[in-house]
Amino acid sequence: MTTAMSAQPTGSNSQRAGAVRMSLRRAAWASLGIVLVLAASAAVRSLGVSSLPAFVGYALLVWALLPVLVTVVVVCVVSLGSGRPLSMAPTAILAGLALAGWVSWGVGLPIGIAYGLPLGLGAAGAGWAAGSSRRAVARVVAVTVIVVVTVVFSATVTTAA
């Protein structure tokens, strides 16, 4: 006789749980790409060293929270529905699209697209590189290069616009 507390998930339930766990790990890497790109962008745009922590914190709260939540929720729903984990590429692309859409809408058109699109592309690339199966040193170098290029390009494009 088994009780409700001793019942273990079997079959498709344990597969779904494993898929959700793996997808959440990948969503965490993709979310890291969002956070790194936004933090670096905010640091470059900060007016001074004294206001840097507050400005970066504010930027992350306003601009990163929703795209991270969208990424996590969508990845969980897709994994639960399919019973398979979402691979790193679609997870990173989803995070990039969420960030680009949120920033573009929040900043306002047309400058919002010029600002949001490079940030979204950079976040997708940084998240994808961070979640890759390469050695840790290679991932750190790739993410750093992607973040720096994204911030420089984004600052250049929005200054020109």
pLDDT of amino acid 46? 77
Residue 127 confidence (pLDDT): 96
Q: Is 122 helix (H, G, I), strand (E, B) or coil?
A: helix
**What pLDDT, on the 0 to 100 scale, is given for residue 38?**
94
Q: What is the per-residue pLDDT for 48?
A: 74
Q: What pLDDT, on the 0 to 100 scale, is given for residue 156?
A: 81
Q: Within 10 A of 113 (CB to CB), how many other CB atoms are there?
A: 19
What pLDDT is recorded for position 115? 87
Q: Is the dihedral of CA 73, 96, 84, 21 positive or negative?
A: negative
Which parts of the chain have pLDDT scores under 50?
Answer: 1, 6, 8-10
The whole-number pLDDT of residue 73 equals: 96
Give the angle 88-89-95 at the CA atoms, nearest 5°. 90
The predicted-structure confidence for 82-127, as pLDDT tens digits, reads as follows 889 999 999 999 999 999 999 999 988 788 888 899 999 999 999 9
**pLDDT value, residue 3:** 53
Tokens read off for 93: 């692309």
